[in-house]
Amino acid sequence: MIVLIQLKSKKLRQRKQSPFLPPMIEGQYDRISYHSLAIGTNGFAEANLLGKGSFGSVYKCTFQDEETIVAVKVFNLEQSGSTRSFVAECEALRRVRHHCLIKIITCCSSINHQGQEFKALVLEYMRNGSLNDWLHKRSDMPAPGNTLSLEQRLDITVDIVDALDYLHNRCQPPIIAISSQATYFSQKT
C-alpha cells in the first residue's frame, strides 16, 4: 500500500515538471545545457536583459514550450570572485525555502559556443516583478501596477524582516545577507 502511494506521488511530480527543466535528484540540481539557455534567451539578447549586478547579468528565458519562463543569472567569469560567488550561491540558494526569497531551479556550468567557461543560475521568474520594480519604477519599463500604499509597504517591510530572520536564524547553516537589495525579494502582490 505504501509503495503504491509513493509510486503514485512520484508519477504526479513527474507529470507536473516541465520537460524543459531538469529534475532535482537527491537534493542536487541536475544541470541544464548552455544551448537550452541560449535558445530561451534568444542568444542572451539585450531585449531579455532584466538587470545587471557586480558578478553578472540576469536574463528572462522562455523555453520552447513558451509556458516555462525563468530568470537566468549569467556570471561574468572575468570578474574576480565570480566563480566563488557562483558556488556559494548554488550552495546557499539550494537550501533556502522562504516565500519572499527567489528560489533556485537549477544551474549551468558548461562551455559556451565560443569555447569559454560559462556559469549560470536558473531562478524562478518573478512575474509580478521584484520589490525594486515596485519601489522604483523606471520610465522605460511598464509599471507593474499602481504605487504601493503605506499598508502594503509596511507588509513588505515585515516580510523582509521575516526573510532576513529566516536566513540568519532558521536556515542551517545560517546565511548572512550582506547585499539585501530590493531586487532579491519577490513581490507576491
Closest CA to 37 of 94, 118, 93: 118
Q: Say if residue 161 is in the same domain as residue 118.
A: no
Q: Say if residue 162 is in the same domain as residue 116.
A: no
Residue 64's SS3 state is: coil
Domain boundary among 73, 94, 125: 125
Q: Say if residue 114 is in the same domain as residue 63.
A: yes
Report pLDDT for 187.
52
Report pLDDT for 70.
94
Model confidence, pTM: 0.69
Domain boundary among 125, 160, 177: 125
Q: Say if residue 92 is in the same domain as residue 172.
A: no
Domain boundary among 125, 141, 175: 125
Q: Say if residue 39 is in the same domain as residue 55.
A: yes
Query: Residue 125: is its pLDDT beyond 70?
Result: yes
Q: Which domain holds residue 169?
A: 127-189
Provide the domain count of the chain.
Answer: 2
pLDDT, tens digit, for every residue of 51-61? 888 778 999 99
pLDDT, tens digit, for every residue of 12-42? 444 344 444 444 434 455 678 999 999 999 9
User: 29-43, 72-86, 106-120: which range is least confident on average?
Assistant: 72-86
Q: Say if residue 25 is in the same domain as residue 107.
A: yes
Return d(Cα 16, Cα 129) in angstroms, integer: 24
Report pLDDT for 17.
44
Percentage helix, strand, coil for the chain under 3-state DSSP, each rounded to 5: 35, 20, 40
User: 20-29, 82-91, 112-121: which range is least confident on average?
Assistant: 20-29
Q: Say if residue 8 is in the same domain as residue 100.
A: yes
Q: Say if residue 156 is in the same domain as residue 187.
A: yes
Q: Say if residue 47 is in the same domain as residue 92.
A: yes
Query: Residue 90: is its pLDDT beyond 90?
Result: no
Q: Say if residue 113 is in the same domain as residue 24.
A: yes
Stretch 119-131: mean pLDDT: 85
**CATH code at position 33:** 3.30.200.20
Question: Is 137 labeled as ligand-binding?
Answer: no
Return d(Cα 41, Cα 154) in angstroms, integer: 35
Stretch 116-139: mean pLDDT: 80
Cα–Cα–Cα angle for 96, 100, 105, rounded to 5 degrees: 50
